[in-house]
Amino acid sequence: MNGLRLPNQTYLRGKRQSFDTFYKYDQRERLPSSVDWRKKGVLTPVRNQGECGSCYAFGALAALEAYHKKRTGKLVNLSPQNVIDCTWEHGNNGCDGGFLVPVFTYAKSHGIVAESKYPYVFTAKRSCKWRKADVVATDKGYLEIRDGDELGLKHAVAKHGPVVVGISGHQRSFRFYKSGIYSSNTCTKPSHAVLIVGYGTHRTHGDYWIIKNSWGTHWGVKGYGYMARNKGNMCHVASMGSFPI
């Protein structure tokens, strides 16, 4: 199941911040040849969104979990249900899809509670059960990667941590991906949110991104996958990147 919505003009007008949200970096800066945040202890276990189109909640919260761990030293499973039930007014549609950035703006204004306090139920409820006393993680805003900027995405992953992105996830080859560096010539518009947790280069098959999915551990390599990097913005992997600050 996917669940990522594409920004429209109404959404774009509604999300303006008081400062420029685009990620700025030095293109000349030397970066590590490979990064893998799985080895840094900042990622929670892979989860399964089921048939609910809630990838936007899982992906954005996975980025926030890593940010929270880096900032506080505490690794907490945050509640996707909190986001699904409580961000309707931010433009999201529960199990019928949503946007990434409103999750970060909601985390700033309200905060996110732990999964243990607000368990995932694989469906959306119009009734928000958020309680201020249960909040465990917040952010101060977000930054976005410019559309298609794979170098910017690489820089952000190396310097700041995991970045949530939108990809084309409808292809049968992606849904049944098992291993290897994924590429496809049938990708269309972004429809699914995943977390970029690293990058590297295979000596035979070239550059890749490491992605954390929300389709359970039976998908890919225990819930993770590898997608072609520097190959024409494969499946729009660098088209909707953002991360909390």
Q: Does the residue 17 lie in any domain?
A: no
Look over the chain and give the mean of its residue pLDDT values, rounded to a whole number: 94
Name the active-site residue from 55, 86, 95, 235: 55
Name the active-site residue from 155, 192, 233, 235: 192
Is the pLDDT score of 13 beyond 80?
Answer: no
Q: Does the residue 50 lie in any domain?
A: yes
Looking at the 3D structure of the chain, how many domains does it have? 1
Nearest to 61 by CA among 187, 130, 162: 162
Which contiguous run of DSSP H or E holds residue 107?
helix 101-109
Which pTM does this prediction carry? 0.94
∠ CA 48-51-56 to the nearest 5 degrees?
Answer: 65
Structure tokens at 208: 């890749």
Give the torsion sign (CA, 137, 141, 145, 147): positive
pLDDT band at 8 (very low <50, low <70, confident <90, very high): low
Q: Does the residue 23 lie in any domain?
A: no
Secondary structure E strands in 50-130: 112-113
SS3 154: helix
Is the pLDDT score of 12 beyond 60?
Answer: no
SS3 94: coil
Q: Does the residue 6 lie in any domain?
A: no
Tokens 């992906």 correspond to 59
Query: Looking at residue 44, what DSSP letter applies?
Result: P
Q: How far apart are the first and last CA of the chain?
A: 28
Q: Does residue 93 carry a catalytic annotation?
A: no
Mean pLDDT of 95-119: 97
Count CB-CB contacts under 10 A for residue 3.
27
CB within 8 A of 186, min separation 6: which ones?
A: 171, 173
Q: Does the residue 24 lie in any domain?
A: no
pLDDT attached to residue 242: 98
Count CB-CB contacts under 10 A for residue 29.
10
pLDDT band at 9 (very low <50, low <70, confident <90, very high): very low
What residues make up the domain containing 199? 33-244
Q: Does residue 213 carry a catalytic annotation?
A: yes
Q: What is the CATH number of the domain that holds 55?
A: 3.90.70.10
Q: Does the residue 167 lie in any domain?
A: yes
CB 80 within 8 A of CB 44: no
Q: Does the residue 196 lie in any domain?
A: yes
Is the pLDDT score of 85 beyond 50?
Answer: yes
Is the pLDDT score of 70 beyond 80?
Answer: yes
pLDDT tens for 189-216 read 999 999 999 999 999 999 999 999 999 9
Name the active-site residue from 213, 233, 235, 236: 213
pLDDT tens for 134-147 read 999 999 999 999 99
Give the length of the chain: 245
Distances (CA, A) of 189 to 1, 79, 149, 209: 15, 27, 16, 19
Q: Does the residue 59 lie in any domain?
A: yes
Secondary structure E strands in 159-241: 163-167, 181-182, 192-202, 206-212, 224-228
pLDDT tens for 123-135 read 998 899 999 999 9
